[in-house]
Chains A and B, each alone.
Chain A
Amino acid sequence: MKKGLFKWLRLSLILSIIVSLLVACSSGSSGTAKDGKVTLKVLDWNGTNTKETEKLIKETVEKELPNINLEFEYINWDTDFSSVMQTRIAGNQLPDIIMIKGGDHPKYTEHLMDLSSEEFMNEFPADIRKALQIEGKDYAVPYTSNFQGVFYNKRIFTENHIEIPKTWDELMKVAETLKAKGITPFTNHFKDYQIGNNFNQFATLEVFSKYPTWGNDLQKGKVSFADSAEFKTVFEHFKDVSKYSNKDPFGLDFTGAAEMFAKEETAMWIIGTWSTAQVLKNNPNLEIGFFPTPATDANNTKIIMQPDHTFSGSAKTEHPKEVKQVLEIFATNKELAKNYIDLVQTESLIPDVVSDVKAPYVNDINHYKNIGALDANIGNVQIPWPYQEQSGSYIAEWLLGKKTLDKALKATDDYKSKVKFSTK
């Protein structure tokens, strides 16, 4: 009797272990709590003042939609976004709301909510909507934009009586002048993504502004990097910049670069507005100026703008109504939008929302907007980011003497078959 009882006890213990393991493995997805409150998961890659932006968004949503609770998950866009999205899609666990970088949408349209018929999308001017539309449909609420160009040390420029360059040749003359005075002209962090980013900046100015369908023609085999005089110029720009670079650019990453620029060890940095928060963290008193990256032809020298933070809904969310309500807040709540851009130190894509940030570079950006802006996504959509990064690797090999320029261009052409283009 006692033996039998012990046997059953053992069996039930084993079964309870199995059941508890299975229960532990079940996913804790978004859902409705007993009190009727809906929890929506948000995938966010913003890396600037995240605690503050999360608090701001949560409080605003809670005020307007008390039945909705937001749960944030943060990832690094550069290193993790693609893999996280891919695994979540494969696992059918896409978060309800996803922050997507402008230009990344075409990859994910099958899995995103179509927002074209939503009333709140009419808040945005047609050109902003068009920049993010895929086959005429809206899949994202545009939210912020970044600007890319040359950030410079105002003190160094003023003390050395340096004029703002308008062409690439003038930029090189400025670099030569600075070098002659013992000042390192450029901050270069070729260890991480800078070559990829600068590749897109130079290509947007030198190639895509003249041939807006160059990327599509590349896919069709009508053009190639090796045969393009303009792309040869793009590659040569890196050689020029390297001549006037800080020591050991291949050993320096973004954080180190921001520290170097903040300590006034260099005079210029070709990058985007996302870098300013990190620079000012290191030196809040630094006077950062901004001018558009000069093109070979002064007529093509324009400020490069890119839709940055955008919000999309998952097509398979269990709470489509609530997701749309939250997206509507993003699209219509101007106070939230203003506070958000002040925290992230960027610019809003919502009409009439202007940042309170009074830094000199913001004034410069506003000034240069008048000469015309180029959308960075012209390049991003046609030459997907992984392709740009890989081209950066070939440029690095050329700069380090491991490839000739022709071989680097040819390798870039050959990589075409190894990457999926974003455009459908």
Chain B
Amino acid sequence: MNLDGKNIQPIDAAVSAKPTSIFHKKKKANSSSMQYFLLLLPPLLFFTVGMIIPLMMGIYNSFTDWDGISLEKHWIGLANYMEIFKDEMFINSFKFTGLFMIFNTLIQNVAAFVFAVFLDSSIRAKNFYRIIIFAPVLLSPILVGQIWTKMYGTILPSINDILGLSINFNLFSSPDTVLTGLVIANNWQWIGYWMLIYLAGLQAVPKDLYEACTVDGGNWWQKFLHITIPMLGPSITICTIGIATGSLKVYELIVASTGGGPGDSSKSTIMYIYDSAFMSQRSSYASAMSVVFLFVLLIFAFIQLKILRKREVEL
């Protein structure tokens, strides 16, 4: 390639040749940036006031002994952070939240994927099924909690009365079954949402890939394994991270259904943080737990993103 400079104008020369035009361009660019900045100002302001400042205040409070009400607070260094890792209630709440997340991530991903594959096929009344499965997404988790409390407490046990059976339907009443009960309620609500993500992903898969596979003699399973799953890589990433982080932050569903009980058997980490801040009046300790939990969420999301993105590339 000949780059002897024949057609390349030196930058200095270009600037000196048209100084007025550059000046106008710069002015226009500045004016345009100013407008963009002004447009960004309200959300930036809200983000700073609503997120950055409270986050900084929370981090500062985590190093104090503030109870959330008193006019005084004293610097206590890392004492709150040291206590967290010895706090059995925090560890138990974290275990419960972790299990809740693992079961939700597995079940919701698989169920949403399967529903999406079936409802992307040519089965009859698929729009009707899509609406039915998606409908619970529109409900508030508070309402879902109340619906399933009624379901386990009154509606399902009435089957026992009718059929003369003695099946234990009240999953919220025992520490051994409360996790199962909450996982069922949570999955019932959210499977439809993640199903839509998978459906959108499925509809974006080029049909000629399937045709090519058919020509090569591939069967249904081979198409599913070698085309559908790899092509849904980005959807799997979105769904896995979404379900996992959503499950880690569970609060409303538990408040409206079990209240963290029986005992403390269904107390999630967020719920324990809330109780520490507003019931036990240990605001600074709750702030320290929030900071730790924030780091856990960040690390978790980062690892998931790294692994899943790498998997996407491999696929």
Contact = CB atoms under 8 A, between A and B. Distances in A.
Nearest to A15: B38
A14 B276 contact: no
Interface in B259-315: 259-265, 274-283, 285
B35 to A, nearest CB: 7
A191 B261 CA distance: 7
Given A86-B277, A418-B89, A400 B71 contact: no
Contacts of A387: 280
A90 B73 CA distance: 13
Interface stretch (B106-114, B169-177, B184-192): B169-177
Contacts of B172: 191, 250-251
Interface residues of B, number: 41
A23 to B, nearest CB: 12
A294 B76 CA distance: 46
Interface stretch (A222-230, A281-289, A391-399): A391-399
A357 interface: no
Given A11-B38, A110-B71, A396 B261 contact: yes
A251 B265 CA distance: 14
Size bracket of the A interface:
35 or more
> Chain A CB within 10 Å — which of B39, B173, B274 has the most?
B173
B41 to A, nearest CB: 6
Interface string A86-117: 10011000000000000000011011000000
B230 interface: no
B103 interface: no
A21 interface: yes
A416 to B, nearest CB: 11
A10 B175 CA distance: 60
A138 interface: no
Interface stretch (B2-10, B11-19, B62-70, B243-251): B62-70
A111 B71 CA distance: 9
Contacts of B281: 82, 86, 107, 386, 419-420
A211 B115 CA distance: 64
Contacts of B35: 10-11, 14
Contact of A248 (B70, B173, B278, B282): B173
B161 to A, nearest CB: 12
B42 interface: yes
Contacts of B260: 393
Interface in A166-188: none
B170 A248 contact: yes
Nearest to B38: A14
B255 to A, nearest CB: 8
A400 B172 CA distance: 13
Interface of B: 31, 35, 38-39, 41-42, 45-46, 67-71, 87, 89, 152-153, 170, 172-175, 258-265, 274-283, 285
6 contacts: A7-B31, A11-B35, A85-B69, A396-B262, A397-B264, A402-B265
